[in-house]
Structure formats: C-alpha cells, structure tokens
Amino acid sequence: MRIVYLDETYLDKSVALMAKYNKEKRYKIGYCSLKPDSIRRDLKESFEDEENKTIGVIEQGELIGIVDLQVDLEKQVIEMIGPFIDREEENEWLSIANEMCQFIFEALGFTYKYLFFIHQENQINKKLLKNLGATSRGHEYVLELKKENVKVQLLSKRIVEASQNVYEGVRTFHDTIWPGVYYSGKQIIEKLTHSHQLFIAKNNQELEGYIFVQKQLEAESGYIHFLAVKERYRKQGIGKALLTKAIEYLFKESQIKKISLCVEVLNETAMQLYFDVGFEVENAYTAYQIQHKE
C-alpha cells in the first residue's frame, strides 16, 4: 500500500470512488458534492490549483482511498474532503484513514487548522476524528428549498444588486460578522461573476444588510452562502426581503430546481426565517477541527 499525491490522470477513478461513498450517509462528507459531474468539476479545479493537494492510497495498482485538501495559505486552513476509502471492515478503514491523515499532517505541517464536515450518521469518521484528537465546532443543518415549496410572494423591490460603491462596506461588514469563514469579504467581491451575485439593502446611503448567492447550474441548484443584517436594522423584515430577492433571482433560472444553505442548529432566529419561506432540513452535520501545537 502506498500513499501518494494524485494528479489529473487519476480523475476518473477519484470521481468514481468519491461518488460511490458520498451518496451513503454513513460515509458522507459535507464538503463533497453528490453528483459525479459536480465532483469531477470540483476535482478538476482542485488539480489545477497549485495550493490544493489530493492524497490517494494505491494498493496493487488500484486507487482504494482518497482525500482532497482545499488549502487556504492566507488563513492557514485546510478543508478535508474525505477520506473516502474502498473498505467496509471498520478496523481496516480506520487504519488506512489514520495513515492518510498522519501522512498529511507530516507533509503539510502543524501550523494549519484542519477542518472536517461530517454527516450526523457518519460514525466511522467520528471515530477517526476522536482518535486524532479533533474538537467539535458545532452542529449545522443543510436546508433545502424546492421551487414548488416556496411560501413567500416574490416581491422584493427595496433590495438591489450591489454596485462598486458599496463593495468596501460589504467587505468590512462581512469580515466583522463572519471572521475566519471560508470566503472573506475580499473573496466575495472577487467572485462576482455570472454565477455569483450579491444583493444589498440600503437606508439612504448606509448598508443595512446583504446576501451572497451562487448559481450551480450543472447541479440544477442554487446556494445561499451568506445572509447578514446589521444589528440596528434587525426585526424590520430586511432579512426576509434579502432572502426573498435571492429566491426570486435563483429560481428565474429554469434549470434550478432547489436552493440550499447551511445554518447552525442553535441559530433559532435564522432557522425560523428559513422555515417560514419553505426551507426544510435535508441533512445534519457536525463540524470538527484539528489544530496541532508544535
């Protein structure tokens, strides 16, 4: 058995292995897409990004294990997409997974914070993370809204598409309210293309709140990354107006059949807002982290 860095020559086998196991809740990783086409797209992008690494386990010429590492050098954070291992026996699975993780820690160093997003029913990964000394960062739901289940009248005239003159205000507010999350305010602005959109609410010239969304047409879905309202403007319906605008915008695309988002289980106010417009719980996850001290 060899642990190696994978390149694009392993793309087909990597997609097959990840798709096979991520569709089962007992092996499911929240960072990983479900559909093979989406996994292929994500892996191709990862192989093309020099910062990211993909680790594989080769046994008798066959790929039997994989974990994709999304590396953020600036934040010193690595999102662990996996491990996915083609073994059913628990002790063998845990042994291989542990070897993969130790290889990663030794190869990439101990200055990084390693992040995991594990389905509630993925007990084998929970055992691995306990053995590795991981700590829980909280529980989250993935909520889903289907087009036929929308419960709001789609009227949101006060919400507008963000323009360049508000970018700095959004960046500052985002980094204040969501410090250290997977996209910084700067990255949000850089991602504004045909597939990503930013809407804002303004009071005269002051930013009240924003919502950042993404079209994922190949997956027939939309995704709401961030929704935030400044504290002094809360309980005025602004959050619902922003959410309504996002729903309206995403469902204008005929290919989009559902909209997803992730929310902390303990955030009851946000949960109620999403339930009110028709979102339902699709999956439950626990976030973990490993941060070694040299």
Write the CATH number for 40.
3.40.630.30
List the structure tokens of 99: 């070897």
Q: pLDDT at position 294, please? A: 55
Secondary element (H or E) of residue 144? strand 135-146
Residue 249 inside a domain? The answer is yes
Give the domain extent around 149. 144-284
List the structure tokens of 288: 């973990």
Residue 274 has pLDDT above 60, yes or no: yes
Q: Tell me how far apart the alpha carbons of residues 186 and 238 are, in angstroms, rounded to a whole number.
A: 24
Q: pLDDT at position 193, please? A: 86
User: Do both 127 and 150 map to the same domain?
Assistant: no
pLDDT tens figures, 187-210: 999 999 889 999 999 988 889 999
Residue 291 inside a domain? The answer is no
User: Do both 56 and 114 map to the same domain?
Assistant: yes
User: Do both 262 and 148 map to the same domain?
Assistant: yes
Q: Are the C-beta atoms of residues 101 and 255 closer than 8 Å to each other?
A: no
Mean predicted confidence (pLDDT) in 267-271: 93
Percent of the chain exceeding pLDDT 90 equals: 83
pTM of the model: 0.83
- The tally of domains found in the chain comes to 2
User: Do both 172 and 128 map to the same domain?
Assistant: no
Q: Which of 108, 133, 158 is the last residue of a domain?
A: 133
User: Do both 115 and 152 map to the same domain?
Assistant: no
User: Do both 272 and 159 map to the same domain?
Assistant: yes
User: Do both 267 and 182 map to the same domain?
Assistant: yes
User: Do both 156 and 129 map to the same domain?
Assistant: no
Q: pLDDT at position 75, please? A: 86
User: Do both 148 and 128 map to the same domain?
Assistant: no
